[in-house]
Amino acid sequence: MRSTLPIAMLLLSSACATVGPPPPPSAELPSQTNLVTQEPMLTYPATRRTDQSDLQFGVAVADPYRWLEHDVCNDREVADWVAAQNRVTDAFLATLPLRDRFKARMTELYDYERFGLPRKKANYFYTRNSGLQNQSVLYVRDSVDGPGRVLIDPNGWSKDGATALAEWSPSDDGRLVSYAVQDGGTDWRTVKVIDVASGRILPDELKWLKFGGGVEWAKDGRGFYYSRFPEPAAGQTFQAASRNQQVLYHALGTPQAADRLVYATPAFPDYGHGATISEDGRWLVITTRVGTDDRYEVTLIDLARKGAKPRTLIKGFTNNYSYVGNVGPRFYFLTNDGAPKLKLVAIDVAQASAAPRTVIGEDDATLESVSLVGGRLIASYLVDAKTEVRVHDLDGSLVRKVALPGIGTAAGFSGKANDQETFFAFTSFNRPTTIYRYDVASGAARVWQAPKLAFNPDDYAVEQHFFASKDGTKVPMFIVRKAGSTGPAPTLLYGYGGFNVPLTPGFSPTRLAWIEAGGTYVLANIRGGGEYGKAWHDQGRLANKQNVFDDFIAAGEYLKASGITGPNQLAIEGGSNGGLLVGAVVNQRPDLFAAASAAVGVMDMLRFDRFTAGRYWVDDYGYPNKEADFRTLLAYSPYHNLKSGVHYPPVLVTTADTDDRVVPGHSFKYISALQAADPAGAPHLIRIETRAGHGSGKPTTKVIDEYADVFAFLGHFTGLDAAD
């Protein structure tokens, strides 16, 4: 969550310009045959249009489908529209021969044992999924290689499997575990506590947590710190903007209403706060943010002094200062202050105004994270979007590099400052996650848990290519296909391009099913992400957002020019900010793509900041109520730049009724405008899941069903039906 190219004609009048979704289709369609695919033409549900229009900076912006922003759970007309759209979509998807094939194979590929990274708090806590369980189960072991026993199994919490175990945190003595319940995919969390020895659930229950629904245990285990929002007004649970987050302390055995307020900024309701306790238990470290950018204020509260006042250590929301750990008063922070690719600094908090001192300087590679474990600093870097891990002494001197199994992504390396062991996960496009135990002193690593596979990873080749974008910038992409494949093939191009989020190699059973069927999968590391630090992010946001779309378009052109895919074999996919990406490039280059899938996308760039988490996204998108940002946003907003008379490629939009991250109204309005713009063209459909949110917590069965539908749709229009 920009110098743009104009992608909509402004109809000038004497006073202002009028832009917006295209007019409704003619009552008489030119043909009963699809003009693009020559298949029988679809009949879309009738969607009511209104004359809603807003005058913004001299521009009359039409918004005829605004009524579709209403919460589907509380508006009968919207619910009926959803049902009607789903009937059309389901009927079309049922005709696709790849649908059942994908579902069967994805089910087989998902059926393998998966483990999460263990956390050591006296005992070893970790998640495990036996294969096709809808939700992973929390286990506990007494020793690192001992037998595990079930602690929390969420699979019986709901009939549809859509109630998930989200964040969880053991107390320092391993006696208690707090855990968050996520129902139906919402960002909201309900926190409970379980006794590890007996399995008894304590009466404590906390509500209205989101965006970091975990808790931070006090060292004595008698309570914990957490962040929450006020209870939303009736009917606004999934739509109201998230403001006035507070940090509180909860004493076990007391009601939430009695929780003690620790930190809040009522004069600045847009500030968000998260709390961490230093390992020595003395300091509460509060990190405050105002948006999605990594620019924070850091406040300390001395827990050793009763009634101690908060002390702001880092002021101004200028730079990233992410707390890593401390050794006494020496605090380590990851920062981009004077280092666009990040560095590690230390601050002596015993001094009133100590300046940060560099411990690990900026490198050509992008520093992604640092952990303080076993008296060492373990630093994880991105080198052309691939992980490299280095171990340093506390003074910053390099000890060694961690040997990784190949080109891929490593994550983990957490633990206490005196732990001599830590764990990390490694994955790649052709390798499911394997968990390794790492000896910090010796550097020896061994497999802790590895999956048994129903395929041979060596049957698939992973390559990295670089291509030139419109302005000449070199952009990397990963290409994954069957080993030995050389000729053009149906290709699925994926991108995100925003919020400083890097896309790195990772395993997905659904992607593998696409490749097994004869397709090629491509991940493009376009600008806006975090692959190359702050500069790469800055080049793909605000006034530079068009660079993101140019990069993705250039990726598609490269794949065709290099013979990786054919003229009518390129499909694109993206979710959330990546859904915006798909919508924008389909508008700008409808000729380039054979099919597209936009998942939970941000499609109305003039109203995104009015709902739930949308207000945070102004760091990447800008402010719709500021004229310069408004004109930039209007130039690429997917909803506002659809044109009548243009034949758009087949598009399948996916969203969910309880998505309270990107509210489904974005997708509802966009697909309505697209169906109106091109009624006799290729299929433009929407798949609306029930009891599902933005993605996290989605049960395995729903994941398989959704991707079987999406890939069958994309495969049908790229020729994958006959590719294998």
pLDDT at 616: 85
State the catalytic residue, choosing from 469, 508, 576, 637. 576
Q: What is the C-alpha R_g of the chain?
A: 26
526-580 pLDDT, tens digit per residue, is 999 999 999 999 999 999 999 999 999 999 999 999 999 999 999 999 999 999 9
**Alpha-carbon span 151 to 141, nearest angstrom:** 10
Of 399, 397, 450, 451, residue with least CA distance to 423: 450
* Ordered alpha helix ranges (H), 562-681: 577-588, 618-621, 627-636, 665-677
Angle at 373 between CA 370 and CA 379, to 5 degrees: 25
297-354 pLDDT, tens digit per residue, is 999 999 999 989 999 999 999 999 999 999 999 999 999 999 999 999 999 999 988 8
Q: Is 694 a catalytic site residue?
A: yes
Give yes or no for residue 243 having a pLDDT over 90: no
Instruction: Kindly write down the DSSP assignment for every residue of 516-541, as one continuous string.
Output: HTT-EEEEE--TTSSTT-HHHHHTTS
* Ordered alpha helix ranges (H), 5-141: 76-93, 98-110
Which range (13-27, 55-69, 218-232) has the least confidence? 13-27
State the catalytic residue, choosing from 392, 666, 694, 716. 694
CB of 595 closer than 8 Å to CB of 223: no
Give yes or no for residue 14 having a pLDDT over 70: no
- 11-106+456-722: CATH superfamily: Alpha/Beta hydrolase fold, catalytic domain (3.40.50.1820)
Give yes or no for residue 3 having a pLDDT over 80: no
User: Which residues are CB-neighbours of 81 under 8 A, at least 6 positions away?
Assistant: 45, 47, 68, 668
- Please give the average per-residue pLDDT across 415-432, as a whole number: 96
**Pairing of the two strands 595-599 and 651-656:** parallel
Give yes or no for residue 713 having a pLDDT over 70: yes
- Looking at the chain, the whole-number percentage of residues with pLDDT higher than 70 is 93
Predicted TM-score (pTM) of this structure: 0.90
CB of 529 closer than 8 Å to CB of 496: yes
> Strand, coil or helix: what is 318?
coil
Give yes or no for residue 15 having a pLDDT over 90: no
Which helix (H) or strand (E) element contains residue 388?
Answer: strand 386-392
pLDDT at 40: 67
Beta bridge partners of 377: 372, 392
Residue 260, CA distances (Å) to 223, 227, 247, 439 in order:
11, 12, 9, 40
pLDDT at 11: 25
pLDDT at 36: 53
Domain boundaries, the chain: 11-106+456-722
CB of 425 closer than 8 Å to CB of 437: no
Q: Mean pLDDT in the chain?
A: 91
- Say if residue 156 is exposed, middle or buried (CB neighbours under 10 Å; 0-12, 13-18, 19+): exposed
pLDDT at 694: 60
